[in-house]
Amino acid sequence: PGHVVNVIRSRRGSANPSLTSSPCDGGLHAMPHGQWSLGVPGASRASSRRSSNASASGATTASAAAVHARIEARNARVQAEQAALEARVAERGESRDPAAVRCKKLWVSLVLARSTQLWLTRLPEVLRRGAAVARARETFARKFVPLWRRYVRRRAAMARLVLARFVMRWAARRRIAARREAADRIVTALRDKKTWFVQAMRWTRVCVVRIQRAVRRM
């Protein structure tokens, strides 16, 4: 008696004898809020109230335990993330101190401001230098470039002249060598073959020598 059994409401109208038993047979009896009670229908309201309070307190304890577990899990996750963040900061060598962070930001701002001030101060000088360089380039292009081009043209003409002279001399040497080779071939052929021409020249030379001797004797 006093024990509460949760039963699906749809089974209230079931044909099960245990669920449709008479109020006097000690079976299951319907109670408020869709619950079922096992015992005599004449039980006091105090016992049914105690049963309801016990079931409600059990459900409340279970829900509180679930909420506490979720809170603990969330806290553990936040602590893990914080530890990982601190480890990354330690690896980079940075400081999480707000004062140090503000000092670093201020220092960066001052450096940027000083750099900007120096750049703006030197800007006119840089512009003047740029104008001077532009004028120098213009003067160079107007005066020196034509002289350089003229020099290059003259050197190219001289190079072409020297090359032409070399080719002409080489051709002349080749022609002279060819003529000498032809004359040597002719003389060699006449000398080797001992033709009548060679004999005639020899006899002619002999005759001339003899005539000269005879004239001297006279």
Structural domain tally of the chain?
Answer: 2
pLDDT class of 52 with cuts at 50, 70, 90: low
Structural domain contains residue 183 = yes
Q: What is the pLDDT of residues 64-89, one digit of tens each?
A: 888 888 888 888 888 888 888 777 77
Are 40 and 128 found together in one domain? Answer: no
In a domain, 102, yes or no: no
Does 66 share its domain with 115? Answer: no
Query: Which of residues 92, 123, 146 is at a domain's end?
Result: 92
Query: Is the confidence at residue 108, as pLDDT, over 60?
Result: yes
Residue 209, pLDDT > 60, answer yes
Rounded Cα–Cα distance for residues 37 and 10 (Å) = 16
Beta bridge partners of 35: 6, 31
What secondary structure does DSSP assign to 18-56, as a single string? TTS--TTTT-EEEEGGGEEEES-TT--HHHHHHHHHHHH
Q: What is the pLDDT of residue 156?
A: 93
Please say if the pLDDT value at position 18 is more than 60.
Answer: no
**For residues 1 and 47, is the Cβ–Cβ distance under 8 A?**
yes
- Asked, for residue 9, whether it belongs to a domain, the answer is yes
Domain identity same for 132 and 85:
no
Q: Are residues 87 and 48 in the same domain?
A: yes
Say yes or no: 43 and 69 in one domain: yes
Please indicate, yes or no, whether residues 9 and 52 belong to a single structural domain of this protein: yes
Residue 98 lies in a domain: no
Provide the pLDDT for residue 35.
47
Q: What is the pLDDT of residues 124-146, one digit of tens each?
A: 887 888 888 888 888 888 888 88
Q: Does the residue 185 lie in any domain?
A: yes
Domain that residue 10 falls in: 4-92
Can you give the pLDDT at residue 107?
A: 82
Query: Do 82 and 148 fall into the same domain?
Result: no
- What value does the mean pLDDT take over residues 184-194? 75
Let me know if residue 50 belongs to a domain. Answer: yes
Answer whether 28's CB lies under 8 Å from 39's CB: no
**What average pLDDT score do residues 147-167 get?**
92
- The answer to whether 39 and 2 are in contact (CB under 8 A) is yes
pLDDT higher at 199 or 10:
199
